[in-house]
C-alpha cells in the first residue's frame, strides 16, 4: 500500500501502540469496522466484522472484493471506530488472507491518519495493460518532453518522463497533449490541457512529474468520460 494514502501516527512506541490497539480490539469482537484499500487508485471499502483476537492477531470476516485487494496490498486501512478511545485511524499488516473464505488475519497494528479520503477527484491508474497507449507530450519553453501517464484524475496527472527534465521545474506552467487510448473502442483520444508542475520526484532510473490541471470545460468533459470508462474497466477487473 502506498504511503501517500496515509500518515503513520505514533502515540507511545510502535510496540506500545500495537498492544493498546490489540487490547481495544479484544473488547470489540463481533463489531463492524470500515476497511479501506486501493486497487489501481480506485478505493475499495466494505464493512468487516471482527471475529476473534488472539496472540496479538485479529481475525476479520470481509467482503470478497476487499479480500482480493488485501491479497495484493498486504495491508489494510481501518477507519476510526466510534467506540475507539482515540481519534486515529488504524493500519494493520496481513498475516493471512483467503479470498474464497472471505477471511483476513491482521497483525502489527499502528495508528494512522488516512489522507486519501481528502482527495477531491477520483484517480485511476493506467498500467499499460493490453498494450494500451497512455502517452503525453509536455510543451515547455519551446521544448517537448515525452512522457507516459501513470495515473490521472480530473484535477491532475502523474507522468513518468522518458528522458531529461529539460526546462521542467516546480511552479512551471505548461501545455499538455494527452494521448489516451479509450477502453471502449481502442481509439486514441488527444486531449489538450494547460497545467502547472506541482512536484518532481527523481528516483533512479525514472523521474515522475506531478501536474495540476487548469479548469477548462472542453478538456474536463473529455477527461471525465475517459476516467469514467477506465473506472468501470478497473471495477470489472476486480470482480473477475
168-192: average pLDDT: 83
Q: Does the pLDDT at position 220 exceed 90?
A: no
Q: pTM for this structure? A: 0.74
**Domain 3-118 class in CATH:** mainly beta
What residue ranges do the domains of the chain occupy? 3-118, 124-239
Structure confidence by residue, pLDDT tens digits, 112-166: 999 876 677 878 888 655 446 688 999 998 899 999 998 898 899 999 987 777 7
Q: Burial of 35 by CB count in 10 Å (0-12 exposed, 13-18 middle, 19+ buried)?
A: buried
Q: Does the pLDDT at position 31 exceed 80?
A: yes
30-59: average pLDDT: 95
Q: Does the pLDDT at position 23 exceed 70?
A: yes
Higher local confidence (pLDDT), 103 or 166: 103
Band (232; pLDDT cuts 50, 70, 90)? confident
Question: Which grid cell sits at 75?
Answer: 495491508
Distance CA 47, CA 45 (A): 7
Domains 3-118 and 124-239 equal at CATH topology level: yes
- Domain 124-239: give its CATH superfamily: predicted glycosyltransferase like domains (2.40.10.220)
How high does pLDDT run on average in the chain?
88
Amino acid at each position: 500500500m502506498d504511503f501517500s494514502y496515509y500518515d503513520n501516527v505514533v502515540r507511545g512506541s510502535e510496540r506500545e501502540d500495537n498492544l493498546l490497539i490489540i487490547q481495544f480490539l479484544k473488547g470489540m469482537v463481533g463489531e463492524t469496522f470500515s476497511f479501506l484499500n486501493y486497487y489501481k487508485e480506485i478505493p475499495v471499502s466494505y464493512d468487516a466484522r471482527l471475529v476473534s483476537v488472539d496472540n496479538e492477531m485479529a481475525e476479520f470476516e470481509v467482503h470478497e472484493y476487499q479480500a482480493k485487494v488485501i491479497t495484493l496490498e498486504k495491508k489494510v486501512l481501518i477507519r476510526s471506530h466510534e467506540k475507539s478511545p482515540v481519534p486515529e485511524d488504524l493500519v494493520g499488516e496481513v498475516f493471512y488472507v483467503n479470498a474464497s473464505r472471505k477471511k483476513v488475519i491482521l497483525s502489527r497494528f499502528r495508528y494512522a491518519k488516512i489522507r486519501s479520503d481528502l482527495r477531491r477527484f477520483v484517480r485511476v491508474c493506467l498500467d499499460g495493460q493490453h498494450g494500451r497507449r497512455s502517452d503525453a507530450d509536455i510543451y515547455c519553453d519551446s521544448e517537448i518532453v515525452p512522457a507516459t501517464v501513470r495515473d490521472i484524475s480530473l484535477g491532475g496527472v502523474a507522468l513518468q518522463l522518458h528522458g531529461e527534465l529539460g526546462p521542467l521545474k516546480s511552479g512551471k506552467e505548461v501545455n499538455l497533449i494527452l494521448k489516451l487510448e479509450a477502453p471502449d473502442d481502442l481509439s486514441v483520444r488527444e486531449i489538450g490541457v494547460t497545467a502547472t508542475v506541482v512536484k518532481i520526484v527523481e528516483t533512479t532510473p525514472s523521474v515522475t512529474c506531478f501536474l495540476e490541471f487548469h479548469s477548462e470545460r472542453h478538456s474536463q468533459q473529455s477527461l471525465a468520460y475517459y476516467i469514467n470508462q477506465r473506472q468501470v474497466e478497473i471495477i470489472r477487473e476486480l470482480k473477475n
